[in-house]
Every structure is written in C-alpha cells, then in structure tokens.
Structure 1
Amino acid sequence: MTEGTISAAESADEAGDTLTRLEQEGEIAADYLEGLLDIADLDGDIDMDVEADRAAVSIISDSARDLQKLVGRDGEVLEALQELTRLAVHRETGDRSRLMLDIAGFRAKKRTELAELGAKAADEVKSTGEPVKLNPMTPFERKVVHDAVAAAGLRSESEGEEPQRFVVVLPA
C-alpha cells in the first residue's frame, strides 16, 4: 500500500472511532445536563443519539411545561444551554463539539416548521422566477432551510451579518 492510502479496515476503524467519540460527547453532555436539571430541581430524561455526524442530546419529560423554562423565548435559553454543554464537552475532551441539544421537542418542531418554510419559499421561487428573501435566522435555522431548498432542487445563500443573517432562495 502506498503512503497516503487508507485501507478499508483503517477506514472502518476511523468510522468506529468517530462514533465512539460522538457517543463519548453524548455521555459527557448527558452528565452535565443531569447536573443542571438537579440544580434547577427539574424532572427530565436524557436521550442520546448520533445524527449526521454529530452527537444529539434531548431532554424530555412528561411535564414538558416545566422544561419550557429551559427553552426560553424563541429558544434563546436552549441556545445558551447548548453552548454551555458544548463547552463542558470541550473541557473534557479538548475537542470542539458540534453537539445538538433539544429540549421538550422544541428543536424537532422548529426543524419541521423551517423545512416547510424552505419548501414553500422554493415553490414561490419556482412559480415566480424571482429570489425570495426570508427573515433573519440562527445558524441552525438557516441550515434547515438551506437543506429544504436543496431538496426542492433549488439553491440558496445566506446574506447579511449576525444576528441579522438571512436566507435568500434563488431560481435554478
């Protein structure tokens, strides 16, 4: 084998290492979030998964109303908790984390709404032939819209500066 070539076994090992690393991120995040739930005296179960090459951690509860405090207005508290959780993972692993946090299904619901928004904007662009500018969004929200637009067979771009960055859906 020549230098720079990766065997199938090495590639499988790397994929296994990545999964193990992401699972480790999930475990660290779960421990951190359980501590936060204890401090806040909130009930919640932690669910861990790996989605699209990133650890995904969800806090779920039969009493989702209690967890709304952790979501905040328009997910602001959720975004902050996600960043704190990523920092906790970084502190333990030394690696930057792309972990996604969802609380009480807020992000899952938002993802569905944004995918519908992206598809609707793509339909409008297809029928009018004119670009459509959407309202400012967070990076997570823009990513979901970009994916929906791409699935509809069109392209999109982000324009503007944070926190006023927005998606423009373009004709084919």
Structure 2
Amino acid sequence: MLDAEGDAAADYLEELLDIADLDGDIDIFVENGRASVAVLADEADPTGLQVLVGPGGEVLDALQELTRLAAQAKTGERSRLLLDIAGFREDRRSTAAGIAADAVSRVRASGESVQLEPMPAYQRKAVHDAVAEAGLRSESDGAEPDRYVVVHPA
C-alpha cells in the first residue's frame, strides 16, 4: 500500500517538474510507517527547486497537500505522505532537534516546563521524538498556525 502511494506521488511530481521545466531526482521511501517522497535538487543547479519550497516552506506545504490528493485519487486510500523538496524539511528537522536538545537542557537545569516558539507539525513531531528519547515529556498546545510544544520534566 505505501509503495503504491509513493509511486502515485512520484508520478504526480514528475509531471509537475516537467510542466514547470525543473530538474530534480525523486526518491521514494518509507519512514515511520508513512510513504515519503523527496525531490532532490540537481547538483548543477542546487537552488533550482527553491520555487517549489517558497518562503518558509509555504509552497512546499501546498504541494504536499496536492500530492497527497493525487496519491489518494490513484490509490483510493487516505494519504499521509510526507514530501520534502531540496532538503528543506530535513534541514528543519535538524534545527528542531537542536531546539529540543536546548529545551531538554533548560528543563533539566530548572526543573520547570519550557514553552517553545510556534512551529509546523513536522517540526513539532521532531521535537516530541527528541524529547521522548531524552526521557522527558512534551505536548503540543495552541491552535494552528501558532501551535507550539511545551517540554515538561519527566
């Protein structure tokens, strides 16, 4: 099922790249029980895909939803596909892991909860995973687009 979802997403994205006259390689994989697709920038033009990311990842978020709809239409199943373009989300996940490590240190030093700045869902997930791995608790609070993570002592 996840393979079919990834293949459907890749087909959709290949057509999009052709229409937009953009170069990129498509990598399909399964991560944490979800189909994931990454569009990798051409080494000759590493910034060529930035138009598909947009400021703050806004275009990427929209493309992810469109790609999910295309995969759903082809497979008949609800899609939870993750899309990354030019390493944008991976870079943000790395940043989120650093934010989580800092928050864990502050919580351990003070013994008090720490509220983080609002961030998108995929970054919050990275923070929750890092906090859990460190043996502390975390929860998301607030309403989109201002949803944030609170890190609590164990």
In our comparison, the structure showing a higher alpha carbon Rg is 1
Residue type at the aligned position of 1:149:
V
RMSD, aligned CA: 0.8
From 26, 32, 48, the counterpart of 2:6:
26
Give the distance between the partners of 1:40 and 1:148, measured in 2 at CA: 37
From 96, 99, 123, the counterpart of 1:117:
99
Structure 1 counterpart of 2:24: 44
Structure 1 counterpart of 2:134: 152
Q: Aligned pair 1:86/2:39, yes or no? A: no
Give the distance between the partners of 2:24 and 2:114, measured in 1 at CA: 40
Between the aligned residues of both structures, percent identity stands at 61
Residue type at the aligned position of 1:118:
A
Q: Deviations over 1:69-106 (max 9, x none)?
A: 11111111111101100000111111111111111111
Q: CA deviation at 1:45?
A: 0.8
Structure 2 counterpart of 1:140: 122
Q: Aligned pair 1:57/2:37, yes or no? A: yes
Q: Map 1:98-113; keep pairs closer than 5 Å.
A: 98-113=80-95
Q: CA deviation at 1:64?
A: 2.2
Give the distance between the partners of 1:121 and 1:144, measured in 2 at CA: 13
Give the distance between the partners of 1:94 and 1:119, measured in 2 at CA: 40
Q: Deviations over 1:56-76 (max 9, x none)?
A: 111112222110111111111
The runs of 4+ residues in structure 1 deviating greater than 6 Å are: none
Residue type at the aligned position of 2:25:
D
- Structure 2 residues not aligned, in runs of 5+: none
Residue type at the aligned position of 1:98:
R
Select the structure with the greater relative contact order (CA < 8 A; seq sep ≥ 6). 2
TM (normalized to structure 2)? 0.96
Structure 2 counterpart of 1:97: 79
Structure 2 counterpart of 1:68: 50
Q: Deviations over 1:32-73 (max 9, x none)?
A: 000100111101111111111111111112222110111111
The structure with the largest helix share of the pair is: 1
- Structure 1 residues not aligned, in runs of 5+: 1-20
